[in-house]
Amino acid sequence: MRFHKTVNIVLIIIALSFNCVQAQNPRKISGEMISVSSGYYIPLFKVGNEPTKQFIKQFYIQPHLVTNIEYLEFVKANPEWRKSKVKRIFADGNYLRMWNGDFDLGSQVKPNEPVTDISWFAANAYCKWIGMRLPTVSEWEFAAIKNNKIFFQERINEWTMDFNETNIMASSVCGGAGAIANTPEDYAAFLRYSYRDNLKANYSLDDLGFRCVSDSPEKYSQQLNVFVVKK
Amino acid sequence: MSKRIVQKPLLIVFAAMLTIYTVILASGCSGDSNKIEGVEYANLTYAPDVPQPILRDHPSKVIVNLETMQVEGRLADGVKYNFWTFGGKVPGEFIRVREGDEVEFHLDNSPLCSVPHSIDLHAVSGPGGGASASQTMPGHSSTFTFKADHPGLYIYHCATQPVPLHIANGMYGLIYVEPKKALPQVDHEYYIMQSEFYTTGDYGAPGLQDFSLDKALQENPTYVVFNGSVGALTGDNALQAKVGESIRLFVGNIGPNLSSSFHIIGVVFDKVYMFGGTEVTQKNVQTVSIPAGGAAIVEFKVKVPGTYIIVDHSIFRAFNKGAVGMLTVTGAENKEIFSGKHSDNLFYGSDLDKKLENNNSDSSSPTASTSSTNNSPTSIDDIVAAGKQIFSRTCFACHQPDGKGVPNVFPPLAQSNFLNADKDRAIGIVLHGKTGTVTVNKKQYNNVMPAQNLSDDQIAAVLTYVYHSFGNSGKVVTKEDVTKVRNGK
């Protein structure tokens, strides 16, 4: 009930914000934040002697990946994330490589499609800027299992806060990875984990985007307000 | 104190010997060098080709560039698959280096790939065989170096999680580390890789096929193939040689699940380097066992012209899953080695047959018929019944009991435009066999049907049965028709 009320507030704020940004044709930023209620999650990998089940606290996750037009607003407000200014240790040479310039998406990039070619540092900074954070691997997997239509339809991989902490290659080469998995038949999960494992935080890749999460809807709505004001 | 005095002259002698030895080494009297000299790029080839032998008498620095790519390609006629590859094809490019070489390996992952890739070379001594050092995201390139310290033939494959999927999708090839003392020269060297594919659709099911995890877990492949697809080594793609030539095959088996019983019909391997090692482990071998993730080198000479069928002698895989290749040998016949068929005579049964016949006098089998005047049945129904029996002994294994054949491998007889169009042609094929491309019901087949060892009566009966079955035209083939074709009239 409390959540519904908050959603309404968010909707109102977004409705108001539309007046300001309509010219840039943004997609709806939210209104449908997905509430992921708390529960137990069985991670792909066993972790030492810890119990296999992991408790995930309730959180709220964006229903869509951050788009180019949304990211453009972030770049405008934060000059250090401009294509021409970003430091190589924070984003490699492919950062926003499809964009024509600092504020020019060019003809190949569609405003309402997920922004890709952004590094972990960039994604992390964006989420902070809107008062949110990146999801953890466990949160992302947990949310994806519950809402797989929303999470797997775009065929874009997503940054997570602790993307390379499992390091399955280091712990087990070849067939060994199956032995330390809770669900060795979940090949799709293996693909995601090995993808994450091989990332470095400054990599910018064509099929890698992100979305943000928040621990409470109130916080999100508050910060979104700030976001809207910035626009 | 006294000890030291005694030792001094000994030391001088030792030093002198060392100097002499060094001089010998420097003057090059010690045989071929172990010192790395020069830099070169490895020459890579796609199957069935093998790079030229390495003629150097010293090790070099060798640079290998291999690109991982994900490409849609042909798995069988009308069947497509999204292959993950080394170099754009399955199997990956053949790498040839020399024992002692320092190999600088560059693994480039195409920006168009969806997942990271890597390489585990079984020739590498070190954790993961290069796997951890070569984990590479799309649009990135990794470099590592290894010493080719173990000569022999080795598998390489992708080792990114989930490894079984990367292998099942086509990521494997062979690397040959040529021994310092190279193997004897031969006329032909070829590269053959056996592997399995697990598809959601059945064998031959058309269209783009997805990977089936269920079948892979059950180790029940839809396809078992040589060089990446059904027909990659048959028809126009058959290996070629001339009578009298020597052949060396570098054969790998990646599995991912099955062991191979590698065999060439009509060939005895003169020498086998079991498991791809450097010693001749056996001479005169019929079938070589190659484990998943293993290899073998076989050598033989071809003495008689013809088509030799390469199979995994776990024979259902060859018949029904695609594990068939061909070696075409041209040149003069050698009747001393192999005569061909001398003659075809009537056979009225052995004494044993007669005993069985007496015990079972009401038998209606045409082969057990006691008719003294004529062995052949008379009414059309009898002929069709007799033909059916011949069919189910001789023809059904390839053409299938329902006459529908095996997609892409054996053409159908059922409602076959090819069969119904020409009776004499059909008789000729049963008599003499057929090799090469035929188009049946708009589909191409390229395989070998051997000449059938049947009498004119039997051929007439079996063809009449076929024409009266499976929705065919209902023609009657008589003994006289067959005799006419046999005599070439």
Dump the DSSP string for A76-98.
HH-GGGSTTT--TTTS-TTTTTT
In chain B, CATH 1.10.760.10 covers: 351-486
Say how many CA atoms lie within 13 Å of B488 toward its Cβ. 1
Find the closest chain B residue to A199 by CA distance. B137
Q: Give contacts of A94 with chain B, Cβ < 8 Å.
A: 139
The backbone region for B403, taken as left when phi is positive above 0, alpha when psi lies in -120 to 50, beta otherwise, is left
Q: Give contacts of B138 with chain A, Cβ < 8 Å.
A: 205-207
Q: Which among B131, B135, B139 is the nearest to A205, CB-wise?
A: B139
Burial status of residue A146 (CB atoms within 10 A of its CB: 0-12, 13-18, 19 or more):
middle
**CA atoms of A216 and A129, how far apart (whole Å):** 16
Contact B159 A198 (CB under 8 A): no
Percent of chain B with pLDDT over 70: 88
Q: How far is CA B304 from CA A22, A118, B286, B344, B452, in A?
A: 81, 64, 17, 22, 20
Contact of A92 with chain B, judged by CB distance below 8 Å, is answered with no
Q: How far apart are the first and last CA of chain A?
A: 30
Q: What are phi and psi of A218, to 5 degrees?
A: -60, -50
Contact of A177 with chain B, judged by CB distance below 8 Å, is answered with yes
**CA atoms of B159 and B163, how far apart (whole Å):** 5
Q: For the segment B51-86, what is each residue's pLDDT rounded down to a tens digit?
A: 999 999 999 999 999 999 999 999 999 999 999 999
Contact B116 A195 (CB under 8 A): yes
**Which residue's structure tokens are 């449908």?**
A32
| β-pair partners for B448 | B435
**CA atoms of B258 and B224, how far apart (whole Å):** 9
Query: Distance from CA of residue B300 to its chain's centroid?
Result: 15
Contact B161 A170 (CB under 8 A): no
Burial status of residue A201 (CB atoms within 10 A of its CB: 0-12, 13-18, 19 or more):
middle
Contact A190 B162 (CB under 8 A): yes
pLDDT band for position B400 (cuts 50, 70, 90):
confident
Q: How far is CA B135 from CA B87, B109, B123, B414, B458, in A?
A: 16, 9, 18, 52, 63
Report residue A40 as tokens: 């137990």
Q: Give contacts of A205 with chain B, Cβ < 8 Å.
A: 137-139
**CA atoms of B251 and B239, how far apart (whole Å):** 13
Q: Which of A177-181, B246-250, B280-284, B456-460 has the lowest mean pLDDT?
A: A177-181
Tell me: pLDDT of B361 over 90. no
Assign A15 to helix, strand or coil.
helix
Tell me: pLDDT of B359 over 70. no
Contact of A170 with chain B, judged by CB distance below 8 Å, is answered with yes
**CA atoms of B17 and B240, how far apart (whole Å):** 57
Residue type, B331: G
Tell me: pLDDT of B434 over 90. no
Contact B132 A177 (CB under 8 A): no
Q: Are A76 and A103 in contact (CB under 8 A)?
A: yes
**CA atoms of A205 and A118, how far apart (whole Å):** 7
ipTM: 0.76
**CA atoms of B121 and B155, how far apart (whole Å):** 6
In chain B, CATH 2.60.40.420 covers: 39-178, 188-330
**Which residue's structure tokens are 């592997």?**
B195
Find the closest chain A residue to B128 by CA distance. A173
Report residue A87 as tokens: 């430091």
Query: Distance from CA of residue B21 to its chain's centroid?
Result: 51
Contact of A174 with chain B, judged by CB distance below 8 Å, is answered with yes
Q: For the segment B90-131, what is each residue's pLDDT rounded down to a tens digit?
A: 999 999 999 999 999 999 999 999 999 999 999 999 888 888
**Best CA proximity match to B181, nearest among B60, B32, B65:** B32
Tell me: pLDDT of B9 over 60. no
Q: Give contacts of B131 with chain A, Cβ < 8 Å.
A: 169, 173-174
Q: What is the mean pLDDT of chain B?
A: 88
Q: For the segment B212-262, what is each residue's pLDDT rounded down to a tens digit?
A: 999 999 999 999 999 999 999 998 999 999 999 999 999 999 999 999 999
**CA atoms of B127 and B2, how far apart (whole Å):** 53
pLDDT value of residue B367: 46
Residue type, B422: D
**CA atoms of A12 and B448, how far apart (whole Å):** 75
Contact of A205 with chain B, judged by CB distance below 8 Å, is answered with yes
pLDDT value of residue A20: 33
Tell me: pLDDT of B195 over 50. yes
Average pLDDT, consecutive stretches of 10 residues, N- to C-terminus, chain A (231 residues): 36 34 37 82 75 87 91 95 96 96 94 95 95 93 83 82 72 62 82 90 95 80 44 32
pLDDT value of residue B1: 39
Contact A177 B138 (CB under 8 A): no
Contact A174 B114 (CB under 8 A): no
Q: Give contacts of B127 with chain A, Cβ < 8 Å.
A: 173
CATH: 1.10.10.10, 2.60.40.420, 2.40.50.140, 1.20.1090.10. Which one for B39-178?
2.60.40.420
Q: What is the CATH number of domain B188-330?
A: 2.60.40.420
Burial B232-267, CB ≥16 within 10 A → b, else e: bbbbebbbebebebbbbbbbbbbbbbbbbbbbbbeb
**CA atoms of B239 and A205, how far apart (whole Å):** 43
Confirm or reject CATH 2.60.40.10 for domain B351-486, answering yes or no: no
**CA atoms of B20 and A159, how far apart (whole Å):** 66
**Which residue's structure tokens are 């087990």?**
A172
The backbone region for B101, taken as left when phi is positive above 0, alpha when psi lies in -120 to 50, beta otherwise, is beta
Percent of chain B with pLDDT over 90: 67
Give the length of chain B: 489
Q: Give contacts of A174 with chain B, Cβ < 8 Å.
A: 120, 128, 131, 159, 163
β B269-273/B294-301 pair status: antiparallel
Cis peptide before B256 (omega within 30 of 0): yes
**CA atoms of A86 and A92, how far apart (whole Å):** 9
Chain B residues whose C-beta is within 8 A of a chain A C-beta are 111, 114-116, 120, 127-128, 131-132, 135-140, 159-165, 213, 217
**CA atoms of B22 and B111, how far apart (whole Å):** 52
